[in-house]
Amino acid sequence: MTDGSSLPRPQIDVTTWSDVGSRDALDLVASSVAEMIGFEIAIVSVVRGEQMYAVSVEGSNEATAAMLGVATPVSMVLAELERADDWGRFRFVPHERVQADVRTIGWVPDLDPVDSPDAWHPLDLLIAPLFDDVGTMIGLLSIDVPMGGLRPGPTQRQMLERFVVQAERALRMAVERDELAARIRLAEAARRVVRFATSQDDLESVLDDCRHPLLDGFRADFLAIRTYSTGSLPSAGSPSSNLPEHLVETIRGAARRAWTQQRVLVVDERGQPDDSVASPEEFYAALEAMAIVGMGTMMLVPLGAGHESLGHVILGRKDPGLLWSPDEQSGALDIARDIGQAVLNSRTLLQEQQMVSELRRLATYKSQVLSTVSHELKNPLSAVSGYVEILEADPSITGSARRSIESLHRASRRMERLVDDLLVLAVVEDPESLGQVEPMDAVPVVLEALELTRVAAERRHLTLEVDVPGRAVPVCCEPGDLDRVLTNLLSNAVKYTPQDRVISLSLVQHDAEVELVVRDQGIGISHDDQARLFTEFFRSTNPQAVAQPGTGLGLTICRRIVERHGGRIVVESALGEGSTFRVFLPAPSV
């Protein structure tokens, strides 16, 4: 109740409270009291937090305008109930006992009392508290201005009792429907947040898309979402709210503590610090921030994933009486977990992109270094080789001098092979060097590589076997790259296989890939060596293998070539039992 001189009081939009059918039922109860019991004014109020809001007002237009949706502190109503006379379900407070400031409790009718000991006074209160099924007060039925100007007698009181029961039943249903609607609203907010959060990769877009679902779902007037910077990843979210830096840091500390406790921090003028959620310093910092942004109550919700605190959400309401319900608090924490997971996923993706970019940069740099060094070595090495060949052709050089020249020739040849391998490695490791790959027939390349190896195999009395289809086998690979892979694998097989044994090469076409198999009956590779076999410059620990010349780059080059074409290479081997290398390359899609 308020007269024209009252101060502004909290209000709600009654059209957003419960559903139309519930509000119509309350209006019917109120109008029945007014019409059938003989009172001009009937008001039904509902408890929300620490305020009681009038959601149905029947009577004069002045009373409706003054009271509908307006709040009355529950504490003041309880204080008046303590002083009231017990009239059954109703409580009557005669005007001489009313102690609260009438401007803060309700509307005062413009009424001149009739000349009677039982005359109704404008400040008389006749109210009936309404309860849920466990005895918690959920609202109030208030009546005012009896038609005859007299306080109700026994007959009227008995009739009023029946309407209290009806009002209580209607209000219970309305409250239950409002709570159900709130849960549905929170569930819808959660659904929209999850949908938006999982459909975006960009962190700013994720947070921006969450704003409207959170504001609508929690019926909030203020929202701030902020993630914290970590490592090379900057913070993201709502723009600065112009809060002092010390308040921002303190609030972040409170959010981190709240995430550890898996709780939210509710902040309002009536609240007290809860050390299990926030320290007094953190609570009062949040209270100060709330005043700066012009809110009457706030909820600080921590964002995180697993054990990691990633940021916070701040929801605010202007009306300090609209407290955050337990469903809203738990729902906010659930939604914050979903947002936190989306933040973590987005950050992980960004870190992976940064790592890929850095790896590409390093790969390009490494390729450039290898290419530069190899080219710088190749020219002087060619000069050395040329002069060694001239000296070898001189018949006057004999004895130890000739043996020294022959050693120089072998060393220069080995250096040339190393430089050539380094140049090839520089090319195959350069992510920019591979253009559009056209499908090609693998059969001719396989047969040509086999022919190039045949002479070396015959010198060691090795038998070469080949098994290829009698038709074209398309494969996605550069012909030169495929030839280099096969030549390397066949050369190794010849080099490490004792005389009078068999080396086989087969080509198998599968649905989505082509398999090339090089199998020998050589010295084999130990389990420990297999783990490092494709590492640059790796040479086997097997003495028989070490005795053979090599750069330690051949298999590395094979693997790089195969992988950059989208394939893979695997080895199966055991010491003394030979080795099998399998190369899988993608087949063209149909």
What residue type is assigned to position 4 of the chain? G
pLDDT at 237: 78
Instruction: For tokens 């977990």, name the residue.
Output: 337
- Identical topology for domains 14-178 and 352-428: no
pLDDT at 2: 36
- The vertex-170 CA angle with 331 and 187, nearest 5°, equals 15
What residue type is assigned to position 48 of the chain? R
Regarding the domain delimited by 180-351, which CATH topology (the fold level of the hierarchy) does it fall under? Beta-Lactamase (3.30.450)
**CB neighbour list of residue 24: distance below 8 Å, 6 or more residues apart:** none
Instruction: For tokens 């320290």, name the residue.
Output: 279
Give the pairing type, strands 439-441 and 474-476: antiparallel
Architecture of the domain delimited by 14-178: 2-Layer Sandwich (3.30)
Spell out the CATH class of 439-586: alpha beta
**Overall pTM > 0.85:** no
Can you tell me the distance from the alpha carbon of 235 to that of 203, in angstroms, rounded to the nearest whole number? Answer: 10
**CB neighbour list of residue 462: distance below 8 Å, 6 or more residues apart:** 494, 497, 499, 500, 501, 502, 503
Handedness of CA 93, 73, 65, 26 (dihedral sign): negative
Which pair of structure tokens corresponds to residue 457? 């195999």
CATH number, domain 352-428, options 2.40.30.10, 3.90.1150.10, 1.10.1060.10, 1.10.287.130: 1.10.287.130
Whether 17 and 24 have beta carbons less than 8 Å apart is answered as no
Whether 490 and 505 have beta carbons less than 8 Å apart is answered as yes
Handedness of CA 387, 392, 395, 399 (dihedral sign): positive
* pLDDT per residue rounded down to tens, the chain (590 residues): 333 334 455 666 676 676 677 778 888 888 887 777 788 888 888 888 778 888 888 887 887 887 888 888 888 889 888 889 999 899 998 888 876 655 455 567 777 888 888 898 888 889 999 999 999 999 999 888 888 889 888 888 888 888 888 888 888 888 888 888 778 888 888 888 877 776 666 778 888 888 888 898 888 899 998 888 877 777 787 776 678 888 888 988 989 989 988 999 988 876 666 666 788 888 888 889 898 888 989 999 999 888 889 999 999 998 887 778 888 888 899 888 888 888 888 888 777 877 878 777 776 766 666 666 666 676 777 777 787 788 888 888 888 888 888 888 777 777 777 777 667 766 776 656 666 678 899 999 999 988 888 888 998 899 999 999 989 999 988 888 899 899 989 988 998 899 989 999 999 998 889 999 999 998 888 888 888 888 877 667 666 665 566 667 888 888 888 988 889 999 998 888 899 999 999 988 76
* Sequence ranges of the domains in the chain: 14-178, 180-351, 352-428, 439-586
What residue type is assigned to position 349 of the chain? L
